[in-house]
């Protein structure tokens, strides 16, 4: 009920679409996942993108469940943050004619887009938006060499931003770039360690996002 209420609130606020993560902690069955997302889609008339990130939720939506959900009106895509591109390619083969497949894993995004994914819902793009957009556009155009070149330039960011739990270091990086007034986080997240800050600053400079 909370998910429906919040999705409806987002619709009223005028958003273009909602990103709906799989339920965490209670570890539902695949049938439970199907019915959960089906109910939200039938209850709120707004485009919805499924979000599968088992590393965070301890809940993994199978490709077969996504295939079932892909035929439901209102469900237009999925952010696949598994990092398993073999599985991602299987998902593209199953569903790309009905929903858009997006990567949710920056280190493997170029490869998945080259395989047919429609883009990347990215963490690194918060820090390096132009480079990530250029990489996605190159990969979408099947320009392997350019996509690989750009991806190598920012590969260090993909890993460095996650040496502490996201969004700790992305928020600090934005603060360092002068784009936010602070790197404040709500508990239980806390300010990044000095060693992490020094490392991400070095990577930001080598990637060209910080002069």
- Among 51, 102, 171, 176, which one carries the catalytic annotation? 51
Please say whether the beta carbons of 112 and 103 come within 8 A: yes
- Residue 49 backbone dihedrals phi, psi, to 5 degrees: -110, 125
Distance CA 112, CA 18 (A): 22
β-pair partners for 51: 21, 79
> ∠ CA(206), CA(201), CA(103), 5° rounding?
75
Coil, strand, or helix at residue 76? strand
Concerning whether 51 is annotated as a catalytic residue, the answer is yes
Tokens standing for 54? 């088992």
What gap in Å lies between CA 21 and CA 50, rounded to an integer? 6
Residue 118 CB: number of other CB atoms within 10 A? 16
Kindly tell me the burial class for residue 139, based on how many C-beta atoms sit within 10 Å of its own C-beta (0-12, 13-18, 19 or more): buried
Structural tokens at position 61: 């939506």
* Catalytic pick among 24, 79, 142, 176: 79
Contact 7, 48 (CB under 8 A): yes
Return the active site residues.
51, 79
């Amino acid at each position: 009920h909370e998910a429906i209420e919040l999705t409806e609130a987002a619709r009223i606020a005028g958003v273009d679409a909602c990103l709906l993560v799989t339920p965490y902690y209670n570890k539902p069955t695949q049938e439970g996942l199907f019915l959960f997302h089906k109910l939200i889609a039938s209850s709120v008339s707004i485009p919805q993108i499924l979000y599968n990130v088992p590393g965070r939720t301890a809940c993994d939506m199978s490709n077969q469940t996504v295939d079932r959900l892909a035929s439901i009106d209102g469900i237009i895509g999925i952010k696949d943050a598994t990092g398993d591109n073999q599985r991602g390619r299987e998902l593209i083969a199953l569903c790309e004619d009905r929903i858009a497949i997006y990567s949710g894993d920056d280190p493997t995004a170029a490869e998945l887009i080259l395989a047919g994914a429609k883009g990347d819902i990215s963490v690194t793009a918060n820090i390096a938006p132009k480079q990530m957009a250029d990489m996605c556009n190159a990969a979408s155009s099947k320009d392997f060499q350019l996509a690989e070149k750009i991806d190598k330039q920012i590969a260090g960011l993909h890993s460095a931003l996650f040496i502490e739990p996201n969004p700790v270091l992305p928020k600090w990086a934005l603060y360092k770039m002068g784009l936010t007034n602070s790197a404040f986080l709500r508990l239980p997240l806390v300010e990044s360690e000095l060693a992490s800050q020094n490392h991400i600053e070095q990577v930001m400079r080598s990637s060209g996002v910080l002069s």
